């Protein structure tokens, strides 16, 4: 099978003009699907990169074209100083699709740190820039899925580095970008990525999220400071097995990583996604704090010591032994409480004096009862959906239909019981007993196991809507449930 270089040489040549603006120079890179050319922009005189793809001739070419279009659509909507920029795109008369991108002069992170790790301050800055690019992509609903040193370009020298993240052809888009539907390239659950840097849930074909990219970022961080890969297996099976194994990844050179970064990298490389950072903003917050500490030390003319750690969080600091009590505010609170008691007593006195008629009181009670019923109806769908989702985390059946029926059955029984009892016991109603049942199931789901609950909430919170996630309206509900589930996992991780 001819290589992309050979095919493209038939359609593109040196000094060829694209879009009456970009003049090709020579090929500077080649991949399994296409090639990259250096070119000059005749309008502003700048050097650009032109990524081109051979014409679509067979099924594999159609797959490559889909990835090419996906990458183009993604980069067009991702504007960030650490993500390669897209300037233009088009197609030659011979059917060669191409995109004009920012030309990045430098070396890949792989070339830069192989057996030549970065010092503390430079490495921290590069690590922060990669995390910042991921955060920008994740905010747009884009999961890179193929983060590796070869996809990170490093510009500059002498510690003043600027990184550019490349190759979004394997990315997964969790929402539409700029109102454009993305090309579907991989079926749900298919494992994609580079074996040395693939996350466990990604290797198993499970649901992925921002935490998947953060796992790969942890592996990159280890390389930045040690110059050594965490997974150094050349065979695909052996590399994947190291990720999916329950055993922690071996980190024999961890002592070379600055002490204050070791817990951060360990958290990023946790096999269970629940135990990692759930999104890049969490990581950036810790790195920001660490960078401030480094700047403070450098301003004092000192170098960060080997055992230097970021300051303890406010929650870990010891509380003062004595409290400074504001007695004036305390007296104001006591006077307010006394006034409230007097107003309540006056209200009771008015009732006893007959100022409120029975009809007026009945109307007030009916109004109050109506508000309670309205509130119960309002929260019933939220409580029922929450209980259903949490119980489903513990009930794993091959048939999704059977799984949904088992989880919904207690809720239906609860609602039916209230409907049957409402004539004999007016305090009950279908909605009220449904809410009570939902609350009980909510508690039971937590008692059945917090760890399993967190894991399944992270990987597949809205499994029952997966088949409909492209339907307008349901797509937003699917994304909303995922977002709420991930935030709830953060709360559980903090508490337990």
What confidence score (pLDDT) does residue 321 get? 36
Q: What's the whole-model pTM score?
A: 0.67
Task: Give domain 107-178+189-306's CATH architecture.
Answer: Orthogonal Bundle (1.10)
Task: Give domain 4-102's CATH architecture.
Answer: 2-Layer Sandwich (3.30)
SS3 296: helix
pLDDT at 243 over 50: yes
137: nearest Cα among 82, 87, 192, 184: 82
490/458 Cα distance (integer angstroms): 10
- Looking at the chain, which residues constitute the CATH 3.30.200.20 domain(s)? 4-102
Q: Which two tokens stand for residue 253?
A: 């050179």
What confidence score (pLDDT) does residue 279 get? 86
User: Looking at residues 172-186, what average pLDDT do you find?
Assistant: 49
The per-residue pLDDT for range 276-327, each reduced to its tens digit, is 998 899 999 999 988 888 777 766 554 554 444 444 333 333 333 333 444 4
Alpha-helix residue ranges (DSSP H) falling in 273-427: 280-299, 327-352, 358-392, 400-421
What confidence score (pLDDT) does residue 41 get? 95
- Dihedrals φ, ψ of 135, to 5°? -60, -40
Residue 15 bears catalytic tag: no
SS3 41: strand
Per-state percent for the chain, helix, strand, coil, to nearest 5: 55, 10, 35
What confidence score (pLDDT) does residue 341 get? 60
SS3 116: coil
- Looking at the chain, which residues constitute the CATH 1.10.510.10 domain(s)? 107-178+189-306
The per-residue pLDDT for range 435-457, each reduced to its tens digit, is 999 999 999 999 998 988 888 88
pLDDT band of 339, cuts 50, 70, 90: low
What confidence score (pLDDT) does residue 67 get? 77
What confidence score (pLDDT) does residue 78 get? 87
The per-residue pLDDT for range 474-487, each reduced to its tens digit, is 888 888 888 898 88
The percent of residues above 70 in pLDDT, for the chain, comes to 79
The per-residue pLDDT for range 134-177, each reduced to its tens digit, is 999 999 888 998 999 999 999 988 778 999 999 887 777 765 54
What confidence score (pLDDT) does residue 368 get? 63
Q: Which residues contact 170 (CB under 8 A, 6 or more apart)?
A: 67, 144, 145, 146, 192, 193
Contact call for residues 155 and 105 (beta carbons, < 8 A): yes
Catalytic pick among 125, 146, 167, 213: 146
318/339 Cα distance (integer angstroms): 38
What confidence score (pLDDT) does residue 347 get? 53
432: nearest Cα among 481, 385, 373: 373
221: nearest Cα among 307, 298, 280, 309: 280
The more confident residue out of 307 and 100 is 100
């Amino acid at each position: 099978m001819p290589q992309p270089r050979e095919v493209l040489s038939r359609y593109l040549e040196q000094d060829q003009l694209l879009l009456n603006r970009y003049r090709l120079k020579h090929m500077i890179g080649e991949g399994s699907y296409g090639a990259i050319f250096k070119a000059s922009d005749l309008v502003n005189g700048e050097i650009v990169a032109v990524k081109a793809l051979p014409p679509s001739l067979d099924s594999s070419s159609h797959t490559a074209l889909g990835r090419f279009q996906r990458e183009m659509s993604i980069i067009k909507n991702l504007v960030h100083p650490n993500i390669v920029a897209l300037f233009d795109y088009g197609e030659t008369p011979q059917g060669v699709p191409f995109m004009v991108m920012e030309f990045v002069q430098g070396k890949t992170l792989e070339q830069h740190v192989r057996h030549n790790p970065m010092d503390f301050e430079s490495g921290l800055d590069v690590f922060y820039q990669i995390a910042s690019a991921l955060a920008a992509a994740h905010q747009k609903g884009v999961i890179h899925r193929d983060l590796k040193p070869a996809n990170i370009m490093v510009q500059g020298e002498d510690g003043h580095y600027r990184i550019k993240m490349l190759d979004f052809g394997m990315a997964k888009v969790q929402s539409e970008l700029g109102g454009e539907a993305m090309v579907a390239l991989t079926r749900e659950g298919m494992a994609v990525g580079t074996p040395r840097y693939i996350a466990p849930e990604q290797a198993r074909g499970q649901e992925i999220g921002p935490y998947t990219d953060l796992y790969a970022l942890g592996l990159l961080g280890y390389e930045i400071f040690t110059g050594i890969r965490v997974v150094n297996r050349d065979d695909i099976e052996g590399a994947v097995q190291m990720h999916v194994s329950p055993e922690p990844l071996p980190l024999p050179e961890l002592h070379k990583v600055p002490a204050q970064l070791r817990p951060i990298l360990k958290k990023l490389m946790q096999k269970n996604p629940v135990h990692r950072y759930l999104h890049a903003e969490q990581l950036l917050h810790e790195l920001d704090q660490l960078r401030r500490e480094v700047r403070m030390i450098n301003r004092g003319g000192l170098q960060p010591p080997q055992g230097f750690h970021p300051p303890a969080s406010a929650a870990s600091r010891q509380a003062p032994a004595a409290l400074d009590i504001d007695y004036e505010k305390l007296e104001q609170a006591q006077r307010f409480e006394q006034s409230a008691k007097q107003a309540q007593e006056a209200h009771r006195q008015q009732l006893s004096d007959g100022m409120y008629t029975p009809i007026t009181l009945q109307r007030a009670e009916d109004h109050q009862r109506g508000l309670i019923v309205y509130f119960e109806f309002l929260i019933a769908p939220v409580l029922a959906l929450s209980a259903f989702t949490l119980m489903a985390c513990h009930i794993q059946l091959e048939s999704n239909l059977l799984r949904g029926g088992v989880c919904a059955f207690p809720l239906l029984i609860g609602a039916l019981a209230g409907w049957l009892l409402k004539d004999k016991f007016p305090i009950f109603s279908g909605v009220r007993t449904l809410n009570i049942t939902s609350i009980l199931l909510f508690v039971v789901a937590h008692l059945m196991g917090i760890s399993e609950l967190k894991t399944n909430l992270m990987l597949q919170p809205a499994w029952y809507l997966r088949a409909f996630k492209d339907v307008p309206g349901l797509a937003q509900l699917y994304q909303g449930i995922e977002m709420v589930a991930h935030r709830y996992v953060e709360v559980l991780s903090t508490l337990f």
